[in-house]
Amino acid sequence: MDRSVSQAGPAASGRPRRSRERDRNGGFTLVELLVVLVILGLVMGLAGPRVLGYLSSSRERTAKLQIESFSSALDLYFLDNGRYPNTNEGLQALVQRPASAENWSGPYLKQASVPADPWGRPYEYRVPGKAAPYMITSLGPDGQRGDGSAISRE
């Protein structure tokens, strides 16, 4: 009978009594939580600005690549029609045939519509440009003219 009582006691689980008490209380101590929060804060403080920098530079690169894609499509449009779309026809002429384009053989873009810039605003298209037949502009992250953040091609 002694034997059955000893198997039901604290030694039966193979763990000391103290660890079972901690398991019953569960959770982490305040000090452990504070250490983890400090470590996370340091990691975010060091890595956060770098990640945000990559995000903004990738949006600018995306805008430049889209503008280059529009330029290539506009050159194909010019070869077919002998002119670039006017300002009223805009970049939409690359995906839908304008009434005045007799030799249109588009769509000149793979998308069904003209994509917005990486900040969700439409690209601006103007004919003629200052130093070229046309100008395509994205107003950049703040959407303001004249502050140097615009991305364009003439």
pLDDT at 35: 92
How far is it between the farthest Cα atoms of the chain? Answer: 106
- pLDDT value at position 92? 92
pTM, two decimal places: 0.61
Helix, strand, coil distribution of the chain in percent, nearest 5: 50, 5, 45
Check residue 144 and give its pLDDT: 73
Which domains, and CATH codes, for the chain? Answer: 59-153 (3.30.700.10)
pLDDT tens over the chain, length 154 residues: 555 554 555 555 555 555 555 556 678 888 989 999 999 988 888 887 777 766 667 888 888 999 999 999 999 999 999 999 988 988 999 999 988 888 888 788 888 889 999 989 999 999 888 888 899 998 888 777 766 667 777 6
CB within 8 A of 75, min separation 6: which ones?
none
Output the pLDDT for position 45. Answer: 84
CA angle 116, 119, 122 (to 5 degrees): 30
pLDDT the model gives residue 42: 86
Instruction: Output the pLDDT for position 102.
Output: 85
